[in-house]
Amino acid sequence: MSSTLPRKSAALLVQRVVDQGVSLGDCLSAELDRFDDRRQRALVQELVYGTLRWFHRLDAILGRLLSRPLKRRDRDLHALLLVGLYQLLMLEMPAHAALSETVEVARQLGKNWAAGLVNAVLRNAQRRSDELLQAVNALDSARWSFPEWWIRRLQSDWPDDWQPILEAGNRRPPMVLRVNLGRIGRDDYLEQLRSAGIEASASALADSALQLRQPVAVEKLPGFAAGLVSVQDAAAQLAAPLLQVADGQRVLDACAAPGGKTGHLLEQAPGLEQLVAIDRDATRLQRVEQNLQRLGAGGRARLLAADAGDPAQWWDGRPFDRILLDAPCSASGVVRRHPDIKLLRRDADIPVLARAQLRLLDALWPLLAPGGMLLYATCSVFKQENSELLQAFLARRADVRESALPRDLGRPQAIGRQLLPGEQDTDGFFYARLQRI
């Protein structure tokens, strides 16, 4: 397979995200399946993730290098130039490889006329790199490589922390494992990793979490296929223990896909009376089943493809002792893992998401048994989706009170606690625990 194909694939993937609004998660796997060579697959991922992560910075630089914008029919060329700039300016790849192969991709796109343009633009960028980087720093969106609206929201919500949040969002995320403590101790699994030549360290945030020094393919993890370990950020691993599940309880996992927290709940309390896991996307629900099968927990949860916010369609009338509402959100706290979110989200999405989150809360609260507990969780750092929303919910209900979370967990809010991205090298998560009285 030609060495230019990874660059061509990366450019076309970037174009799909930027111009068509396609989620990277929906198009990356199929593209990677075209490559048998592991190194080429890795190069595609590096170029796509890196170009999207630094899109706003690279696009501002490209605007200074082009005498006039490219025509709409040449948006593939625009994406290719961004991939080329990422190689030269951010990845610091050897110039001869980045230049010659990116120029060749222009020809493969059927645009022989553009080969000279691509060569000239990239060589110009190489010569003027320091000048260009300094010039675009005058624009907040280019300096931080985030949309303007995103920066303004963070400045409003987190006036003392917005810069570290943005910096954390642009860092490469670590690979973190969740050890199945019902099957093996964390120290024992750590020893298995060492025996396999994989360096890792225990996380202070979650008792089940191990952070790898370098990411590895899951097939290389001892016992992965047998369910000894899963891949999950340490902040996400807090949900199951915070919900305080116990054997004999009836538990609802609303919005369950892809099933990481579902599996963790069953690891925490294998003797649950019942675990009902709901997701409105039947295709994504299949991933929950696959994850449970790998953990040896297949058949131990009732999986329902339904709208959690419409219980009349699926609830059997029996109350739940515990409810996990991992609410659909902006995902602004996990942007380091999903840089396409910067391109896919809009400021107007946030109030829409908040209304949907409140709808879920209102619909699920009556399903909770008296004395029962609901854990509200998002991977967002925007207060409109988190503490502000819960203040509105509590203000209109007399049968709810906040159940305190550990004092060492993140930042205290009016309601709940916020883990900011990068703190203890985790993703950004919000948690609030509510008890029905």
- Judged against a pLDDT cut of 90, whether residue 82 lies above it is answered with yes
Q: Provide the pLDDT confidence category of residue 2 given band limits of 50, 70 and 90.
A: low
Residue type, 376: Y
Average pLDDT over all residues of the chain: 96
Q: Provide the pLDDT confidence category of residue 1 given band limits of 50, 70 and 90.
A: very low
Percent of the chain with pLDDT over 70: 99
- The CA angle 79-83-89, to the nearest 5 degrees, is 135
Is the backbone of residue 138 left (phi > 0), alpha (psi -120 to 50) or beta? Answer: alpha
Q: How far apart are CA 185 and CA 110, in angstroms?
A: 56
Q: How many CB atoms lie within 10 A of CB 127?
A: 10
Exposed/middle/buried for 278, CB within 10 Å: 0-12, 13-18, 19+? buried
Q: Are 374 and 325 in contact (CB under 8 A)?
A: yes
- Judged against a pLDDT cut of 70, whether residue 271 lies above it is answered with yes
Q: How far apart are CA 25 and CA 340, in angstroms?
A: 9
Tell me which long-range contacts 407-416 makes (C-beta under 8 A, separation of at least 24).
409/238, 413/383, 413/386, 413/387, 414/387, 414/388, 414/390, 415/387, 415/390, 415/391, 416/376, 416/386, 416/387, 416/390
Record the tokens describing residue 296, joined without a space: 């040896």
Q: How far apart are CA 433 and CA 323, in angstroms?
A: 10
Question: What average pLDDT does range 85-108 have in this prediction?
Answer: 91
Whole-angstrom CA distances from 253 to 53, 304, 322, 356 are 32, 10, 9, 17
CATH, range 176-231: 3.30.70.1170
The pLDDT tens digits of the residues spanning 14-32 come to 999 999 999 999 999 999 9
Return the CATH architecture of domain 236-436: 3-Layer(aba) Sandwich (3.40)
The pLDDT tens digits of the residues spanning 407-420 come to 999 999 999 999 99
Q: How far apart are CA 221 and CA 193, in angstroms?
A: 7
List, in order, residues 6 or more apart from 127 with CB less than 8 Å away: none
- Judged against a pLDDT cut of 70, whether residue 112 lies above it is answered with yes
Catalytic position from the list 27, 255, 329, 379 = 379
Read off the pTM: 0.95
Is the backbone of residue 318 left (phi > 0), alpha (psi -120 to 50) or beta? Answer: beta
Is the backbone of residue 114 left (phi > 0), alpha (psi -120 to 50) or beta? Answer: alpha
CATH entry, 5-143, from 1.10.940.10, 3.40.50.620, 3.40.50.1000, 3.40.50.2000:
1.10.940.10
Question: What average pLDDT does range 357-364 have in this prediction?
Answer: 97
Domains of the chain, by residue range, sit at 5-143, 176-231, 236-436
For residue 379, indicate whether it is catalytic: yes
Q: How far apart are CA 8 and CA 297, in angstroms?
A: 41
Q: What is the DSSP string of 300-368?
A: SSEEEES-TT-GGGT--SPPEEEEEEE-----GGGTTT-TTHHHH--TTHHHHHHHHHHHHHHHHGGGE
Q: How far apart are CA 161 and CA 92, in angstroms?
A: 29
- Judged against a pLDDT cut of 70, whether residue 3 lies above it is answered with no
Question: What average pLDDT does range 313-341 have in this prediction?
Answer: 97
List, in order, residues 6 or more apart from 138 with CB less than 8 Å away: none
Is the backbone of residue 390 left (phi > 0), alpha (psi -120 to 50) or beta? Answer: alpha
Question: What average pLDDT does range 381-385 have in this prediction?
Answer: 98
Record the tokens describing residue 337, joined without a space: 């893992």
Looking up tokens 């690891």, which residue turns up? 267
Record the tokens describing residue 24, joined without a space: 């990277």
Question: What average pLDDT does range 299-318 have in this prediction?
Answer: 96
